[in-house]
Amino acid sequence: MEKFQENLKEAIKALQIADHMTYVTFPLVKEQRLILKIFDEIYKSIIGCINAILNYEYLYKRIKLYTGNKDNMQTFVDKCAKDYTLNNEQIKKIKEILEINKRHKQSAMEFIKKDKVVILSDSLKTQVLNIQIIKQYLLLAKELLIKVNEKVKE
């Protein structure tokens, strides 16, 4: 199995988990901390899709891969996104998800306030996640997965 197929398989699995948690588990248990777990699964799915795209394009010698994630992300945005019909809004949201995940990993603390999860950074900047934002990110991850599947099956 090619590397891009493995990435795609991981992305699909993470997306299925996120979708189930969003639409079945979360409404049932109403535990706000699940929002962070759902967000992590969405992040895994998007990273899986991006890696699948990069590995697929590299396999057919259309791009060069780098050792740094930042360089690879730039290659994805500059050279791959247009081929996969991703618009600027989708690219912006993907970058937003990656940035939120970075903040989440580095955050000093997270807490629940009403129906929101607040991620507090060291510089006391806050990032808020709620179920509506999660559903938007989930939709983006589904759209990305569909576009990747269409392209690699050609």
pLDDT, tens only, 99-112: 999 999 998 889 99
pLDDT, tens only, 25-83: 999 999 999 999 999 999 999 999 999 999 999 999 999 999 989 999 999 999 999 99
The CATH number corresponding to 3-101+131-152 among 1.20.120.330, 1.20.1050.10, 3.30.1380.10, 3.40.50.720 equals 1.20.120.330
- pLDDT, residue 154, reads 64
Helix (H) or strand (E) holding 18: helix 3-20
Q: What is the pTM of this model?
A: 0.94
- pLDDT, residue 140, reads 97
- Rounded-to-integer distance, Cα 70 and Cα 15, Å: 23
Kindly tell me the burial class for residue 25, based on how many C-beta atoms sit within 10 Å of its own C-beta (0-12, 13-18, 19 or more).
middle
- Percentage, residues of the chain above pLDDT 70: 99
Q: Is residue 1 predicted with pLDDT exceeding 80?
A: no
Instruction: Determine how many CB atoms are found less than 10 A away from the CB of residue 146.
Output: 11
Mean pLDDT of 115-123: 89
